[in-house]
Amino acid sequence: MKRVRTILLGVAGCLVAPTLASSTTSGELLRSCAEIVSAIGAKTDGELDIPQTGLSCWYYMSAIQNMSVLEAPHGVRLLGICAPPETTLIDYVRVFVAQARKRKAQHDNAAALAVVILSEAFPCRTRSR
């Protein structure tokens, strides 16, 4: 259990730790993701034309989606995001935009906000023993 906590803290630290390099703010991520939602509208299948201004969001959410399936030894999702297998990247983007717009106090760190929003939208069920 101690190893799981260490792994979780390490992942969380990498996501939310400030860096010397310029990092994406939650406001910047929201604007980029909103550009995608506006550009594609209700379209959900086929090819999507992601606007240049939405590419940072697309890559950011793609990384979070890929990392969301990482598990600790006992099957605990490291980011606490348990989206159904059919959940698409555009689903992640839409959920993020809808929920980030509702929040009054934005996080400075985009990763922290995205992980909080997506883990609330796609919670993991706890296993009963």
Q: What is the pLDDT of residues 79-121, one digit of tens each?
A: 999 999 999 999 999 999 999 999 865 667 899 999 999 999 9
The per-residue pLDDT for range 3-60, each reduced to its tens digit, is 544 444 455 545 544 444 568 889 999 999 999 999 987 766 667 889 999 999 999 9
Q: Is the pLDDT of residue 65 over 70?
A: yes
Neighbours of 63 (CB within 10 A): 12
Domain-by-domain residue ranges, the chain?
A: 2-121
Tell me what pLDDT residue 89 has. Answer: 94
HSE value, Cβ hemisphere, 13 Å, CA-based, for 32: 18
